[in-house]
């Protein structure tokens, strides 16, 4: 198939899929999964495992994920590895064709699973070249398309990609949040046992605001010793307080934190005024920062993968973390009431804050991992201990 570095390449024989960037660049490949077309921002993920978790992470809403690891789909898919049942990534780009799955846990193949979810796959792309393009020029807007007959209107696809407004200013959390209050029961998964169950004993009560959460976050809160109630991210402060929380968790999610913050930040500020303990991750971390007076910025390429080194400033310990974010807290001018607690060793960007005088902190990365690494589970324990 065509090298992802060559623009406007003619359609090669057998091409049934295409990735068209807003600048007119065209990369031909072999489509799989759902047919049709979808628009989004192209990003890359460097994790070697966890493609099913990635594709069902709501934080990837309106994004097309390029997997840098060449062999994707080779262990199949199964229901136990889903991270949500709402929209995540709209499509994925991979190097090698998806092979017949080989794993005792597999319940199906990646292509059929993507088709069921309405997500488009594109194989045969030079993902290294595409990744270099993103690193040099930033995450582009694009259309991914799959037609088994190989018929594509390239000018129309370029136009659609160019006219898509992009993620800045986009409130996607409202799209992917759950719409009902839910009492969460499940604990973490283990081989041969499935998911643990929450013990029915008096426990600290955590109200988790869902801005596009991965289910494994709630499982880790249960593992750390909490009773968990999940509420929509649009819940007003009166609704949160009515549940009598001992602490409030702010979840990950997609889109621009400033856009979601238009309704979430006042709620967080109200919680801070009442000295209710707060723990935020990813989007929740960013909105906690906004509530304290900090600012967020759109990143050039973002951080997505399972091998990101983060330095804990209190003691110099380095955590290997799982990340998925295209926005970051601006650490060049943090307010006096915000302490920076963690930084990325890749680029020095902010990866953690604490609000001075409050039991409120957040991290940019995903301590629940799923899959790995597990360096940061202590943060769930720290949060639950603060509720005493």
Catalytic center residues: 282, 366, 368
Strands 91-93 and 63-67, sheet pairing: parallel
Task: Tell me which residue of 134, 288, 155 sits closest to 211, measured CA to CA.
Answer: 288
Task: Tell me which residue of 253, 265, 254 sits closest to 213, measured CA to CA.
Answer: 253
**8 A C-beta contact, residue 269 and residue 291:** yes
Say how many C-beta atoms besides its own lie within 10 A of residue 76's C-beta: 22
Say how many C-beta atoms besides its own lie within 10 A of residue 103's C-beta: 11
Name the 3-class secondary structure at 215: helix
Task: Tell me which residue of 273, 127, 121, 267 sits closest to 207, measured CA to CA.
Answer: 267
Phi and psi torsions of 364, nearest 5°? -75, -25
- Cβ burial, residue 379 (10 Å; 0-12/13-18/19+): buried
C-alpha distances in angstroms, 243 versus 80, 144, 240, 248, 253?
30, 43, 6, 11, 22
Write the CB contacts of 115 (distance below 8 Å, at least 6 apart in sequence).
32, 33, 34, 35
Distance CA 379, CA 381 (A): 5
Structure tokens that stand for 90 in this block: 């709209």
Say how many C-beta atoms besides its own lie within 10 A of residue 46's C-beta: 16
């Amino acid at each position: 198939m065509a090298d992802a570095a060559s623009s406007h390449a003619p359609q090669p024989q057998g091409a049934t899929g295409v990735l068209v960037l807003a600048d007119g660049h065209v990369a031909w490949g072999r489509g799989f999964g759902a047919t049709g077309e979808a628009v989004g921002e192209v990003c890359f993920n460097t994790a070697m495992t966890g493609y099913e978790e990635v594709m069902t992470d709501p934080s990837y809403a309106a994004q097309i994920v390029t997997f840098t690891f060449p062999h994707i789909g080779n262990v199949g898919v199964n229901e136990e590895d889903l991270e949500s049942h709402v929209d995540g990534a709209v499509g994925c780009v991979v190097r090698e064709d998806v092979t017949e799955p080989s794993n005792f846990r597999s319940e199906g193949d990646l292509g059929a699973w993507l088709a069921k979810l309405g997500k488009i796959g594109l194989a045969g792309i030079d993902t290294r070249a595409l990744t270099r393009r993103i690193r040099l020029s930033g995450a582009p807007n694009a259309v991914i398309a799959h037609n088994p007959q190989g018929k594509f209107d390239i000018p129309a696809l370029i136009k659609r990609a160019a006219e898509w407004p992009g993620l800045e200013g986009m409130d996607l959390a409202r799209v992917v949040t759950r719409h009902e209050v839910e009492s969460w029961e499940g604990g973490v998964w283990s081989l041969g046992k499935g998911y643990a169950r929450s013990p029915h004993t008096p426990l600290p009560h955590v109200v988790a605001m869902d801005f596009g959460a991965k289910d494994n976050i709630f499982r880790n809160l249960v593992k750390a010793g909490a009773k968990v109630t999940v509420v929509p991210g649009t819940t007003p402060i009166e609704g949160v307080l009515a549940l009598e929380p001992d602490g409030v968790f702010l979840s990950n999610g997609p889109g621009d934190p400033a856009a979601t913050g238009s309704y979430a930040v006042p709620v967080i500020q109200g919680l801070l005024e009442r000295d209710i303990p707060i723990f935020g991750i990813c989007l929740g971390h960013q909105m906690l920062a906004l509530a304290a007076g900090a600012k967020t910025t759109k990143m050039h390429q973002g951080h997505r993968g399972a091998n990101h080194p983060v330095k804990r400033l209190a003691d110099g310990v380095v955590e290997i973390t799982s990340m998925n974010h295209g926005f970051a807290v601006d650490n060049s001018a943090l307010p006096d009431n915000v302490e920076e607690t963690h930084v990325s060793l890749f680029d020095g960007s902010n990866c953690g804050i604490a609000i001075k005088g409050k039991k409120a902190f957040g991290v940019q990365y995903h301590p629940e991992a799923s899959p790995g690494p597990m360096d940061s589970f202590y943060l769930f324990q720290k949060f639950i201990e603060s509720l005493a």
